[in-house]
Structure 1
Amino acid sequence: MFICENEPMCKHTSFKVGGPVRYFAKAETVEDLKAAMTLAREKGLPYFILGNGTNLLVSDKGYDGVVITFAGEFSAIEDLGNGAFKVGAAVPLGRFARTTLKQGFAGIHKLAGIPGTLGGAIYMNAGAYGQEIGSCCTQVKALDESRTVHEIPANDCSFGYRQSIFQKNKAIILSATFQLPAASAEGKTVANLEAELAECMAKRKASQPLNMPNAGSTFKRLDKGATDTPAQIAPGYYIEQAGLKGFRIGGAEVSTLHANFIVNAGGATAANIKTLSEYVQQKVADKFGIQLKREIILLGNFE
């Protein structure tokens, strides 16, 4: 297992910001993971499981704890046959989606543009363009805080919009098993799936600031909109109507392309990004009477 001290987290997050972490560990096996958890306990420190850092904002002060990232056995895709796959937590979601698409399986191909890992996708039940990772999941293998491995049926994972049971029980996702439908069963070919993916990628490129450091959607979709627009549940609509597109605090900016994205427009700090997100929440609340909830995870001391 690789361990280092005072690793700059700006190297490991899509925002390209964040101070040093006390200990940075790369686990290649479950035993490595347990050893990293033991290190955290012996040092009296918290730990955090890091995927691709694509939905994360780390404090400029860093994180006084142990950040654990996965490699090795967690990076494998195992083809179990007949559309069943076992996928390690460190596998990029795009790699899994494209691999299954090429083999003629549907169900998650539209998720190929999501930049996170499988573990992170399961944790937040990632979704896009009408597909969600939890919809084809059959089982999740996870390690609880007592170091016991559990195989949890998907029905017990409480998958919902951007949520799962793992946000509550704090179990560490090791891998997940999926059952995907054959494209032919849906009257489609691999070419059809590729065309659908290409359309999704084109929409993503046209509507999202992919050329600037960001962490995806800043705020979660609303359950319902404002009084005069109850059916409008897109946070970006309200942010744009509040006149906040292009608004900046330091190097952090509300994207001019998609209002629900905060970007690092150059030289932003984590404090800039957090302050801007809070400013957006306040302005939207003042104008529309609705409270936007952050989708991005905060890590470290922001006081």
Structure 2
Amino acid sequence: MILSENEPMCKHTSFKVGGPARYFVKAENADDLKEAFALAHEKALPYFILGNGTNLLVADKGFDGIVITLAGKFSEINDLGNGAFHVGAATPLGRFARNAMKQGFAGIHKLAGIPGTLGGAIYMNAGAYGQEIGTCCTTVTTIDTDGNLHEHAASECGFGYRQSAFQKLGETIVSATFQLPAASAEGKTVADLEAELAECMAKRKASQPLNMPNAGSTFKRLSAGAADTPTQIAPGYYIEQTGLKGYRMGGAEVSTVHANFIVNVGGATAADIMNLSKFVQARVAEKFGIQLHREIILLGEFE
């Protein structure tokens, strides 16, 4: 494994903020992971598995623990034939989705614009434009802190809206297998899939602040809206209705493009982003009587 100390986490998150991790490990195979877990045990420190850092806010004080990022063997895509794939957790989700699409397989092609890794996508059951990663997943392989591998059938993964069993299981996702439907079975061609993806990418570009540091949707979609708008479940709607679009705290801003995005307009701290998210929650609760829940993962100690 490759080990460094006091690694600035602002280099590893899409928000471009965050203090140092006490230890930073790059693990390229299962043996590296076992060594990293042993280090955590030896030092009596917590550990965190890092994907692309696209859904993560690290505290300004950093993380007094071990951040582990996967690479090497964990970045491989193995084509098992007939739409079946075995994919490493460090593989960029977009690379896998495009690879499968070019071979004529549907099911996840609309997810190609999501900037995270396969492992992160499984952990959060990432989705977009009517597709979710868990839908075509058949098994997930994890490793525990003793170095033992476990295979979980899809029925055991607890996939739901932005959730999976792995958020509570305490095991690290190392790979997953998928069974994707052939585009031809749906009466479509590769060109049709590419056109659908292009449409999704155009919508994403038009509706999201892709040119500014952010971590995607700040808050999860609601299960039900406010009393007077019970079918309106988009957090961005309620945030915009409170007049907070463009509202700033320090270098953090509620995006003027999409109200459910907080962006780093320059010089933001993690505290700025956290305080702004709390302020948004409070204003929406006060005006509409509903509670917004963060989709972004927090790492480290916040005031």
Shift of 1:166: 0.2
| Residue deviations 1:85-123 (CA, integer Å, cap 9, x gap) | 000000000000000000000000000000000000000
Aligned partners of 2:84, 2:96: CA distance in 1, in Å?
12
Residue in structure 1 matched with residue 89 of structure 2 by the alignment: 89
Q: What is the DSSP-based 3-state SS (H/G/I as helix, E as strand, rest coil) of the residue aligned with 2:215?
A: coil
Q: Do residues 273 (structure 1) and 273 (structure 2) align?
A: yes
Runs of 4+ aligned structure 1 residues displaced above 4 Å come to: none
Aligned partners of 1:145, 1:55: CA distance in 2, in Å?
24
Q: Do residues 200 (structure 1) and 200 (structure 2) align?
A: yes
| Residue deviations 1:186-243 (CA, integer Å, cap 9, x gap) | 0000000000000000000000000000000000000000000000000000000000
Residue in structure 1 matched with residue 293 of structure 2 by the alignment: 293
| Residue deviations 1:241-267 (CA, integer Å, cap 9, x gap) | 000000000000000000000000110
Aligned partners of 2:243, 2:131: CA distance in 1, in Å?
31
Aligned partners of 2:149, 2:46: CA distance in 1, in Å?
20
Q: What is the DSSP-based 3-state SS (H/G/I as helix, E as strand, rest coil) of the residue aligned with 2:5?
A: strand
Unaligned runs of 5+ residues in structure 2 are none
| Residue deviations 1:120-174 (CA, integer Å, cap 9, x gap) | 0000000000000000000000012333210100011000000000001121000
Unaligned runs of 5+ residues in structure 1 are none
Q: How many correspondences in the alignment?
A: 303
Q: Which amino acid aligns with 1:172?
A: T
Residue in structure 2 matched with residue 110 of structure 1 by the alignment: 110
Q: What is the DSSP-based 3-state SS (H/G/I as helix, E as strand, rest coil) of the residue aligned with 1:23?
A: strand
Q: Which amino acid aligns with 1:221?
A: R
TM-score, reference length from structure 2: 0.99
Does the Cα contact within 8 Å between 2:34 and 2:145 map onto a contact in 1? no
Aligned partners of 1:145, 1:160: CA distance in 2, in Å?
26
User: Equivalent residues in 2 for 1:242-253 (5 A)?
Assistant: 242-253=242-253
Shift of 1:33: 0.4
Aligned partners of 1:232, 1:193: CA distance in 2, in Å?
30
Q: Which amino acid aligns with 1:183?
A: A
Does the Cα contact within 8 Å between 2:30 and 2:147 map onto a contact in 1? no
Q: What is the DSSP-based 3-state SS (H/G/I as helix, E as strand, rest coil) of the residue aligned with 1:233?
A: coil
Q: Percent same amino acid among aligned pairs?
A: 78
User: Equivalent residues in 2 for 1:1-303 (5 A)?
Assistant: 1-303=1-303
Aligned partners of 1:242, 1:13: CA distance in 2, in Å?
29
Aligned partners of 2:244, 2:260: CA distance in 1, in Å?
10
Q: Which amino acid aligns with 1:109?
A: H
Aligned partners of 1:210, 1:154: CA distance in 2, in Å?
32
Aligned partners of 1:14, 1:152: CA distance in 2, in Å?
30
Cα RMSD for the two superposed structures: 0.5
Aligned partners of 2:189, 2:181: CA distance in 1, in Å?
12
Q: What is the DSSP-based 3-state SS (H/G/I as helix, E as strand, rest coil) of the residue aligned with 2:90?
A: coil
TM-score, reference length from structure 1: 0.99
Aligned partners of 1:20, 1:116: CA distance in 2, in Å?
21
Q: What is the DSSP-based 3-state SS (H/G/I as helix, E as strand, rest coil) of the residue aligned with 1:173?
A: strand
